[in-house]
Amino acid sequence: MTSGAPSTRHIISILVEDRYGELARIVGLFSGRGYNIDSLAVNRSTEPGMSRVVLTTRGDAAVVEQILKQVNKLVRVHKVRHLEGDSHLERELCVTTVRTQSARAREELERVIKLTGARVLAFSATAFTVEATGTSSDIDHFLELLRPLGIRDMVRSAPIALTRAGAEAEAHALEVSALS
Amino acid sequence: MRGARIVVESLIKEGVDLIFGYPGGAILHVYDELYKVQDRLRHVLVRHEQGAVHAAEGYAQATGKVGVAMVTSGPGATNVVTGLQNALMDSTPIVVISGQVATTLIGNDAFQEADVVGITRPCTKYNYLVKRVEDLAPTIKEAFYLARSGRPGPVLIDIPKDITAMDFPFVYPEKVELASYKPTIKGHPLQVKKAVDLMRQTEKAVLYIGGGVVTAGAEAEVRELSRRLNLPVTPTLMGLGAYPPKDPRSLGMLGMHGTYTANMAMAKADLIINIGARFDDRVTGRLDKFALNAKKIHVDIDPASVNKTVNVDVPIVGDAKHVLQQMLEMLPEEPPPARSAWWAELREMQARYPLRYRDRTDCIMPQRFFEELASLTQGRYICSTDVGQHQMWAAQYYPVDKGRNWLTSGGLGTMGYGLPAAVGAALSGTKEPVLCVTGDGSFQMCIQELATCVQENLNVKILIMNNRFLGMVRQWQELLYDRRYSEVGLKYFPDFVKIAEAYGATGLRAEKPEELRAVMERGLNTPGTVLMDIIVHKETNVYPMIPGGAAHYEILLGPEDAEDAQPRELA
- Looking at every residue in chain B, the average pLDDT score rounds to 96
Query: In which band, very low, low, confident or very high, does the pLDDT at A168 lie, cut at 50, 70 and 90?
Result: confident
Calculate mean pLDDT across residues B463-482: 96
Query: Which residues of chain A lie closer than 8 angstroms to B129, CB-CB?
Result: 20-21
**Nearest-by-Cβ selection for B304 from A21, A28, A66:** A66
Query: In which band, very low, low, confident or very high, does the pLDDT at A2 lie, cut at 50, 70 and 90?
Result: very low
Contact B534, B466 (CB under 8 A): yes
Is the sign of the CA dihedral B285, B272, B396, B264 positive or negative?
negative
B472 flagged as catalytic: yes
The per-residue pLDDT for A178 is 45
A2 Cα to chain B: minimum distance (Å)? 19
The per-residue pLDDT for A170 is 62
Q: Is A75 on the interface with B (CB under 8 A)?
A: yes
Contact B281, B255 (CB under 8 A): no
Cβ within 8 Å of residue B48, ≥6 positions away: B22, B79, B446, B448, B449
The per-residue pLDDT for B139 is 98
Can you list the domains of chain A with their CATH numbers? 9-86+168-179 (3.30.70.260), 89-160 (3.30.70.1150)
Instruction: Look at residue A180 and tell me whether its pLDDT is greater than 60.
Output: no
Put simply, the answer to whether A24 touches B121 (Cβ < 8 Å) is: yes
The superfamily in CATH containing domain B3-165 is: Thiamin diphosphate (ThDP)-binding fold, Pyr/PP domains (3.40.50.970)
**Residues 82-141 (A) with a CB less than 8 A from some CB of B:** none
Query: In which band, very low, low, confident or very high, does the pLDDT at B567 lie, cut at 50, 70 and 90?
Result: very low
The per-residue pLDDT for A169 is 66
Nearest to B137 by CA among B105, B98, B164, B110: B164
Distance between CA atoms of residues A137 and A117, nearest Å: 15
The per-residue pLDDT for B562 is 62
The per-residue pLDDT for B564 is 54
Put simply, the answer to whether B303 touches A179 (Cβ < 8 Å) is: yes
Which listed residue (B1, B13, B65, B112) is catalytic?
A: B112
Nearest to B556 by CA among B236, B240, B264: B264
B111 flagged as catalytic: yes
Question: Residues in chain B whose beta carbon is closer than 8 A to a beta carbon of chain A?
Answer: 117-118, 121-122, 125-127, 129, 131, 146, 178-181, 188, 302-304, 306-308, 311, 317
Sheet with B18-21, strands from edge to edge, namely B42-45, B18-21, B67-71, B94-100, B154-160, B126-129
pLDDT tens digits, one per residue of B58-71: 999 999 999 999 99
Calculate mean pLDDT across residues B182-203: 96
Q: Is A45 on the interface with B (CB under 8 A)?
A: no
Distance between CA atoms of residues A80 and A166, nearest Å: 19
Nearest to B276 by CA among B250, B242, B245: B242
Question: Strand B530-535 to strand B460-466: parallel, antiparallel, or no bridges (unpaired)?
Answer: parallel
Domain B189-352 in the same topology as domain B3-165: yes
pLDDT tens digits, one per residue of B505-518: 999 999 999 999 99
Distance between CA atoms of residues B124 and A24, nearest Å: 14
Phi-psi region of A74 (alpha: psi -120 to 50; beta: other; left: phi over 0): beta
pLDDT tens digits, one per residue of B422-440: 999 999 999 999 999 999 9
Query: In which band, very low, low, confident or very high, does the pLDDT at B571 lie, cut at 50, 70 and 90?
Result: very low
The per-residue pLDDT for B39 is 96
The per-residue pLDDT for B548 is 84
Q: Is the peptide bond before B160 cis (omega within 30 degrees of 0)?
A: no
Put simply, the answer to whether A75 touches B179 (Cβ < 8 Å) is: no
Instruction: Look at residue B569 and tell me whether its pLDDT is greater than 50.
Output: no
In this prediction the ipTM stands at 0.89
Instruction: Look at residue A171 and tell me whether its pLDDT is greater than 80.
Output: no
Nearest CA in chain A to B142: A75
Distance between CA atoms of residues B355 and B346, nearest Å: 14
State the DSSP H helix or E strand holding residue A10, giving kind and residue range, or none if neither: strand A9-17
pLDDT tens digits, one per residue of B256-278: 999 999 999 999 999 999 999 99
pLDDT tens digits, one per residue of B110-164: 999 999 999 999 999 999 999 999 999 999 999 999 999 999 999 999 999 999 9
Put simply, the answer to whether A20 touches B129 (Cβ < 8 Å) is: yes
* Residue B436 bridge partners (DSSP): B384, B462
What are the extents of the domains in chain B? 3-165, 189-352, 366-535
Q: Which fold has domain B366-535?
A: Rossmann fold (3.40.50)
Calculate mean pLDDT across residues B181-200: 97
If you count residue pairs, one on A and one on B, with CB atoms under 8 Å apart, how many are there?
45
Q: Which fold has domain B189-352?
A: Rossmann fold (3.40.50)
